[in-house]
Amino acid sequence: MKKKLTTAIQIAFIGLFVLMTLTVVFYEDISLYFLGQDKPQLSSAAPGEPGDDIAESNSGNDIASEESPGTPLTLNDEKTSAEENNNNRADGLKEALFYKTMEALKVQCQMCFRKCTIAEGKRGFCKSRENIQGKLYTLTYAKPAAVHIDPVEKIPFTHFHPGTDALSIGTATCNFRCLNCINWQFAWKTPEEVEQLSMSPEEVIKTAKDNDLKTICFTYNEPTTCYEYMLDVFKLAKKEGLRTVYHTCGSMNPEPFETLAPFVDAVVVDLKGFDDEFYEENCSAELQPVLDYLKTVKKHGVWLEVVNLVIPGKNDSPDTVRKMCQWYMENLGPDVPLQFSRFFPTNQLSNLPPTPVLTLENACAIATEAGIRYVYIGNVSGHEKNNTYCPECGHLLIERVGLSIRTFDIEDGKCKHCGNLILGKW
């Protein structure tokens, strides 16, 4: 009897172990099932072929998503006729900036490189702007999908107030469709498809101050899609003596940036690769607008840092990295920090391996040889290239452990050991 009981207990434990193992392995699928979400699917639409609810993009690289824009915004609890609902669609929405009116109630958005031409009742590629009776409205104003407190190292900055935290904000939608996007749950969705908070610019400032945070950051998705919200937040933040930064794919047109620039302390830009084919296939986007944007930020004197996510077999060719670094030196100079970040399998690229550390080290060597003074490796905790060294005397200036700072030997913007100027916002 005891033997049978022991066997039964052993079988039960084995069954429990198998169940726990399957739960871990298939955690994402199980979670998405109960949450009623699907994994993101690539569109079957060909490049340049707009979907039913997506406007014509003038970029030539428009890949429309199969995701529906969802149910129109409900602005009150009363049911109205279709005509009344159309007349009231704009209630509570903020009119977008930087667009042109056209014939037949069409508009052309001027916010990013796509310059979408949008028919009445339709939305642009990013899904965050809708043409309502000949006027363009933003659908994400004061409606963040994510609000967190992050170390600035996570944004990621290396030369901007190391060891401090920021109030980080992101909204639904994006104007890129990166196959490796880790925030696809809201960056690939319409505003109606995600849970959004109600958070006015004034409430953002109050939240930062209540939590003793000196920096506000727009990140997680592409901030260009919530430009009006970011602009109003940053204007208020500067009045309150707060710092303002954002993390971007670098797709904003020059005119909107020129309006925003006086209220921005720093920008970190994803330079995702350095050839047109990669940008088109991996991001449904274009390289040249990003290069133009980098030069625009540099010209305006806003503190700039650059991140290159190195994806195995996609953008990791030494020749590609070498060309990128040559362009970097010619257009941005030696003192703009460059971080080569490690890729981990995710989203549509879950079949790829993590980036070998040696590949990142080789990229760093190429960048250093090209003359870039501050070259880093990201997403490899404990690596010596997480740290900042004086390019003159070689002393360790900022020692980083994960997202924390252990050593900080910069005083008045200079190396404590030799007095060499270390550019950054300290």
Is residue 94 within 8 Å of residue 228, measured between CB atoms?
yes
Mind listing the pLDDT tens digit for each residue in 337-363? 999 999 999 999 999 999 999 999 999
Whole-number percent of the chain with pLDDT over 90: 78
Q: How confident is the model at residue 91 (pLDDT cuts 50, 70, 90)?
A: confident
Question: For residue 267, is pLDDT > 60?
Answer: yes
Question: For residue 136, is pLDDT > 90?
Answer: yes
Q: What is the mean pLDDT of residues 391-402?
A: 96
Question: For residue 330, is pLDDT > 60?
Answer: yes
Q: How confident is the model at residue 45 (pLDDT cuts 50, 70, 90)?
A: very low
Lowest mean pLDDT of 48-62, 136-150, 165-179, 200-214, name the range. 48-62
Mean pLDDT (the chain, rounded): 85
Bridge partners (DSSP) listed for residue 396:
389
Question: For residue 76, is pLDDT > 70?
Answer: no
What pLDDT does residue 10 have?
Answer: 57
Question: For residue 13, is pLDDT > 90?
Answer: no
| Distance between CA atoms of residues 73 and 87, nearest Å | 12
Lowest mean pLDDT of 17-26, 74-83, 136-145, 153-162, name the range. 74-83
What pLDDT does residue 62 have?
Answer: 30
**Could you tell me the residue ranges of all domains in the chain?**
146-415
Is residue 296 within 8 Å of residue 289, measured between CB atoms?
no
Question: For residue 384, is pLDDT > 70?
Answer: yes
What pLDDT does residue 184 have?
Answer: 95
Mind listing the pLDDT tens digit for each residue in 139-184? 999 999 999 999 999 999 999 999 999 999 999 999 999 999 999 9
Q: Phi, psi (5° rounding) for residue 223?
A: -60, -20
What pLDDT does residue 59 have?
Answer: 37
Q: How confident is the model at residue 11 (pLDDT cuts 50, 70, 90)?
A: low
What pLDDT does residue 75 have?
Answer: 26
User: Which of 353, 337, 360, 338 has its CA nearest to residue 426?
Assistant: 337
What pLDDT does residue 14 have?
Answer: 56
Mind listing the pLDDT tens digit for each residue in 180-196? 999 999 999 999 999 99
Inter-CA distances, 104 with 72, 128, 134, 286, 304, Å: 22, 21, 8, 29, 41
Question: For residue 30, is pLDDT > 70?
Answer: no
Count of positions (residues) in the chain: 426
Question: For residue 313, is pLDDT > 90?
Answer: yes
Question: For residue 366, is pLDDT > 60?
Answer: yes
Lowest mean pLDDT of 63-77, 124-138, 156-170, 392-406, name the range. 63-77
- Sequence-ordered alpha helix ranges (H) in 26-46: 27-35
- CATH superfamily for 146-415 is Aldolase class I (3.20.20.70)
| Distance between CA atoms of residues 156 and 306, nearest Å | 9
Beta strands in 56-207 (DSSP E): 94-95, 99-101, 107-109, 117-118, 129-132, 135-138, 146-151, 165-170
What pLDDT does residue 92 have?
Answer: 82
Q: What is the mean pLDDT of residues 366-380?
A: 98
Q: What is the mean pLDDT of residues 130-140?
A: 97
Q: What is the mean pLDDT of residues 231-248?
A: 98
What pLDDT does residue 422 have?
Answer: 98
Q: What is the mean pLDDT of residues 251-271?
A: 98
Question: For residue 61, is pLDDT > 90?
Answer: no
Q: What is the mean pLDDT of residues 285-303?
A: 98
Inter-CA distances, 329 with 154, 270, 322, 326, 367, Å: 25, 17, 11, 5, 9
Q: What is the mean pLDDT of residues 276-305?
A: 98
